[in-house]
Amino acid sequence: MTIPFDLALQELIFLGFLVFLSAAVQGVLGFGFAVIASPIIIQINPLLIPQLLSLLGLPLALRVFFREKSKVNWEPVRFLIIGRLVGGPIGLYFLTTLDPKPLSISVGLIVLSAGLGSFFGWNVKRNPKNSFIAGTLSGIFGMIAAIGGPPVAILYRGTKGDEFRPSLNAVFTLGIVITLSLLFFNGNLNIDHIILFLYLIIPVLLGIRFSTSLFSMVSDKLIAEMVTYFSIISGLIVIYRSIF
């Protein structure tokens, strides 16, 4: 069996387990797929980020959104999506023109700072301005490191889970479409990414299915805590990965 990007069979099996676990976490919490998977996958092959996670993240985000879509408050989501439209091209420009090391360190520092601010009780008011800023940062980070969740998750920290999950995934769905479109038209999305996506989509779908039996048991308090900790951990991992 020929596997794209010269991956070994054991690497493909490991990736299948990783995306299953990451999809289950996002199905329960509302985000976390890229936060968990991106720092590990980039160590296996940097050419898989952000393309593979964007491809796999699209059906995941759609499923979580449609599962609880009636709870979405579309007013802040609208400004988040406008921000993603702005942030996507900015992120692509950075990705293709700037030195990746300081760029990734900057992303890590911003995500880490936001997580620490949340840990120490910093709450961001959801208004049009802050929603637009969070959406723009999400678009930039999603393009550079495939980690677009923390800026949006921090904006929604403290929201009830049945609004938190579909609202974030409404933003992720349209944001990923923007990211993939920009990557395709810029020539950074190729057939090998599609083939690897087809190999790994089944573990993602199984992860979503597994999460469906669990998400209603997760408290709003746990979701708020996970937003904070995932942001801190992902920021530290991105910084460490960039330096070493």
Tokens of 116: 């620490």
**Mean pLDDT, rounded, for 126-138:** 95
Q: Which of 143, 120, 165, 209 is nearest to 152 (CA)?
A: 165
Please give the share of the chain, as a percent, with pLDDT higher than 90. Answer: 52
What whole-number percentage of the chain has pLDDT above 70? 100
CB atoms within 10 A of CB 212: 14
Mean pLDDT, rounded, for 55-69: 94
Per DSSP, the residues of 153-211 read: HHHTTTS-HHHHHHHHHHHHHHHHHHHHHHHHHTT---HHHHHHHHHHHHHHHHHHHHH
What are the tokens at 64?
A: 């979580």
Task: Choose among 204, 96, 202, 170: nearest CA to 140.
Answer: 96
| Tally of CA atoms within 13 A in the half-sphere of 195 that contains its CB | 11
Q: Are 216 and 100 contacting, i.e. CB atoms less than 8 angstroms apart?
A: no
Confidence check: pLDDT of 127 > 70: yes
* Lowest-pLDDT choice from 37-41, 63-67, 138-142, 189-193: 37-41
Q: Mean pLDDT over residues 5-10, rounded? A: 94
Using CA atoms, how far apart are residues 128 and 136, in angstroms rounded to an integer? 12
d(CA 95, CA 14): 27
Do 84 and 174 form a contact (C-beta atoms < 8 A)?
Answer: yes
- Contact assessment for residue 88 and residue 175, using Cβ atoms and an 8 Å cutoff: yes
Closest by CA to 115, choosing from 84, 149, 87, 82, is 149
If one compares 29 and 111, the residue with the highest pLDDT of the two is 29
Q: 188-231 pLDDT, tens per residue?
A: 999 999 999 999 999 999 999 999 888 777 787 888 788 788 88
Please calculate the CA angle 76-84-67 and round it to the nearest 5 degrees.
60
Is the pTM higher than 0.85? yes
Cis amide prior to 50 (ω within 30 degrees): yes
pLDDT for residue 1: 65
